[in-house]
Amino acid sequence: MNAKRLTADDVALHVLAELSPDQRAELLVRPEEDLQDYLDKVAPVVDAVRAEGDAAVIRFARKFDGADLDAGSIAAGPEDFARARAALDPDLIRTLEYAADNIRRYHEAQRPQEMWMKEIRPGVLVGGRHTPVDSAALYVPRGKGSFPSVALMTAIPAVVAGVKQPIMLTPPKPDGGIDDATLVAAEIAGITHVYKAGGAVAVAAAAYGTETIPRCVKFEGPGSPWVVAAKRFLQGRIASRVPAGPSESIVLADATTSPELAALDLLIESEHGADSAVYLVTWDADFAAAARAAIPGYWREMGAGRVEFSRAVLGGTNGGIVLAGSPEEAYAFVNDYAPEHLQILSQVPFEHLNHINNASEILLGEHAAGSIANYVMGPNAVLPTAGAARFGSPLGVYDFMKSASVGHVSATGYAEMAPHTHRFAVYEGFDGHANAVSPLREKALGRR
């Protein structure tokens, strides 16, 4: 389609007051919510990788990625890292290093203290201890482009956490190689083991291990519904966070800002793919009309492929402009949607912030463009999707760590707590529990 022929009519306008409950509910649906078809299709892929290892990775690379691999080329070698760095624009390398520095600073500040303890009763110390997981697979998708930013966002928190064996998985290019910037980003982040595997194949390879790809206890990173389905299918085998599927965002704007600015920022996440979900939410009809009218002009400044994605998103039921009847109705829609990205465009953004409970990322003000957050701001841009912001959090250092509770009881503390413990145990009928805090304990201690 010729972008010059696009008009404001190509942008859907959803007036909440005119929608039935079912129509409003349809606006909240995400593409990956119904994964049954994907689950059925990933099952044989997972089974093949489990049974055949590298042979399945090689076969599926040819089938899904059009890439010819062999057992010796699944892993990136030192020469691949060196070639990628030599081929990359030095200015881009500096940008990757700049972004990595900000991301690292943010996640170092996020890292929990290794151990804490507090005396809650005389002689009773309780606390917690944080240690990194042994291994983690970090996924960088490639289906609709190359994403070195994702390499930084997934790898840096794992390295800051101290994961002993962090690896990276990414689909091969048709020539069998790996995107240069992704390899350099991995190196900058501190990852030395990168493997060529994509989609459900990557999840299965990390879950079971192959002759080349080591088995991991965690799998983190965004991906298509195929990746989301594979993670769900293998959730008893490898740990993973809440879904990080197709991109979604809401721009919440009031009349103190520019409708043209709202239109400009609305297009950020809409260009990821036709399965993205993007809304401008406002309660000012004139503002909505002006923003809608501005969108075609910005489309003309984009490449045809990205315009096709953006138009598919903004012209359907998973995108466009949502006109609320009041600020309260707008806040309610945002909280019901629980977006991955939320940008509050306003000269007084903090006045709206306290009304928002459900959003994975909240960007405040007219200069906090979503693209800055996606690349260089520092907070992690791998975020829960599909409404998981109601209970989930952005990827962070804590996702690559585990905690253990710690307790120490002295003789003084024991003397206070033992009678209460004995009473509990007797009531619940546990003789062993009761005996462990009875005079039998003092007798056993006297024999040491």
Catalytic residue, candidates 130, 272, 341, 352: 341
Positive or negative torsion for Cα 175, 40, 309, 137:
negative
The Cα–Cα gap between 342 and 249 comes to 6
Q: Is 355 a catalytic residue?
A: no
Q: Is 433 a catalytic residue?
A: no
Residue 193, phi then psi, degrees to nearest 5: -115, 110
Catalytic residue, candidates 32, 187, 269, 340: 340
Positive or negative torsion for Cα 93, 99, 105, 109:
negative
The two beta strands, 124-132 and 401-409, are: antiparallel
Strand residues in 113-157 grouped as ranges (E): 115-121, 124-132, 135-139
219: nearest Cα among 295, 154, 293: 154
Two tokens at 158?
Answer: 């794992």
The Cα–Cα gap between 189 and 85 comes to 14
Instruction: Name the β-bridge partners of 135.
Output: 165
222: nearest Cα among 242, 236, 206: 242
The Cα–Cα gap between 379 and 444 comes to 54
Residues with a catalytic annotation lie at 340-341
